[in-house]
């Protein structure tokens, strides 16, 4: 597990920036509203459990590879399991649905993770996956490049599982794959939330010099483009 997810702080800082989005329906509410129904639903790479502000009236099993995320999930009252999405400790066909939000690009081989998700779904079960695509947060990447920040993950266009190849990757294991885009952009009124976001993308604390350069590089209010998508797929076997 990279330094990135050893604690919940960096992920929480990044989630925080999205509250400046212009879409009236916040991202996690929008995703939750698009989940098909199911009595038993698995979530992989669930992070801090942002998808579940309260426990739903069906059984959710949120899992994550990070021990810190699992501790947070337990603290929210969920029975969780610490596991990698490509090696799930669950029986074949044991879930009605599975959720993989902004995480398949972290799995060494996304295709293996996708095959494993299909294995644990019953025939007719569904998968909802989300990711980003070209141009996502482009303005922030420009700042990062300009000030020389050592970002810990690639720009959206270079992710292993991204809007541009997600349908093809999912179609190898699933049927009825569809993709919709979340219409949004961020209008951040001050520099500090952007500084916090970019600092969270580095796998170590920034030095004072790096922080000063970053603060100088973020010119007050910032408009940020987004390109986030949601894919739905159905297992027929």
Ligand X SMILES: C[S@@+](CC[C@H](N)C(=O)[O-])C[C@H]1O[C@@H](n2cnc3c(N)ncnc32)[C@H](O)[C@@H]1O
Q: Is 45 in the site for ligand X (CB under 6 A)?
A: yes
The yes or no reply on residue 69 touching ligand X (CB under 6 A) is yes
| Binding residue for ligand X, selected from 12, 25, 40, 50, defined by CB under 6 A | 50
Residue among 107 and 177 whose Cβ is closer to ligand X: 107
Distance between CA 85 and CA 151 in Å, rounded?
Answer: 24
Contact residue for ligand X among 41, 60, 61, 65 (CB under 6 A): 65
The CA–CA distances, whole Å, from 131 to 76, 91, 109, 165, 169 equal: 25, 26, 15, 10, 13
Q: How distant, in Å, are the alpha carbons of 78, 121, 178 from that of 234?
A: 26, 9, 10
Phi-psi region of 25 (alpha: psi -120 to 50; beta: other; left: phi over 0): beta
Tallying the residues shown for the chain, one arrives at 237
Residue 211 to residues 16, 202, 208, 215, Cα–Cα distance (Å): 19, 12, 5, 6
Task: State which of positions 104-163 bind ligand X (CB under 6 A).
Answer: 106-107
Check if the beta carbon of residue 21 is closer than 8 Å to that of residue 184.
yes
Nearer to ligand X, 179 or 211 (CB): 179
Report the C-alpha gap between 211 and 174 in whole angstroms: 45
Residue number, nearest CB to ligand X: 47
Q: Closer to ligand X by CB, 106 or 162: give it.
A: 106
Question: Which of 44, 70, 127, 218 forms a contact with ligand X (CB under 6 A)?
Answer: 44
Give me the least distance between CB of 129 and ligand X, in Å please.
Answer: 10
| Options 58-66, 134-142, 186-194, 222-230: segment touching ligand X (CB under 6 A) | 58-66
Q: Please report, for residues 14, 154, 168, 188, the alpha-carbon distance to residue 134 in angstroms, rounded to integers and kept in the order given.
A: 18, 11, 16, 21
* Contact residue for ligand X among 35, 61, 70, 103 (CB under 6 A): 103
Which member of 35, 41, 61, 85 binds ligand X (CB under 6 A)? 85
* List of residues contacting ligand X (CB under 6 A): 5, 11, 44-47, 50, 64-66, 69, 84-85, 101-103, 106-107
């Amino acid at each position: 597990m990279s330094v990135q997810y050893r604690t919940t702080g960096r992920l929480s800082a990044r989630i925080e920036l999205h509250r400046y989005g212009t879409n009236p329906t916040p991202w996690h509410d929008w995703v939750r509203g698009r989940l098909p129904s199911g009595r038993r639903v698995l979530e992989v790479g669930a992070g801090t459990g942002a998808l579940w502000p309260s426990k739903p009236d069906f059984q959710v099993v949120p899992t994550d590879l990070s021990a810190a995320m699992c501790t947070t999930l337990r603290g929210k009252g969920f029975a969780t399991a610490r596991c990698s999405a490509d090696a799930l400790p669950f029986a074949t066909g044991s879930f009605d649905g599975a959720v993989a939000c902004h995480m398949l690009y972290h799995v060494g081989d996304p295709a293996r993770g996708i095959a494993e998700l299909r294995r644990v779904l019953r025939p007719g079960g569904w998968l909802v996956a989300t990711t980003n695509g070209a141009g996502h947060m482009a303005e922030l990447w420009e700042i990062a490049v300009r000030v020389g920040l050592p970002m810990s993950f690639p720009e959206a266009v270079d992710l292993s599982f991204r809007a541009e190849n997600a349908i093809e990757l999912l179609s190898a294991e699933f049927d009825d794959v569809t993709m919709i885009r979340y219409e949004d952009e961020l209008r951040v009124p001050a520099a500090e939330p952007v500084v916090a976001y970019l600092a969270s993308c580095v796998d170590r604390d920034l030095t004072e010099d790096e922080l000063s350069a970053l603060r100088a590089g973020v010119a007050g209010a910032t408009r940020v483009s987004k390109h986030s998508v949601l894919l739905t797929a159905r297992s027929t076997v």
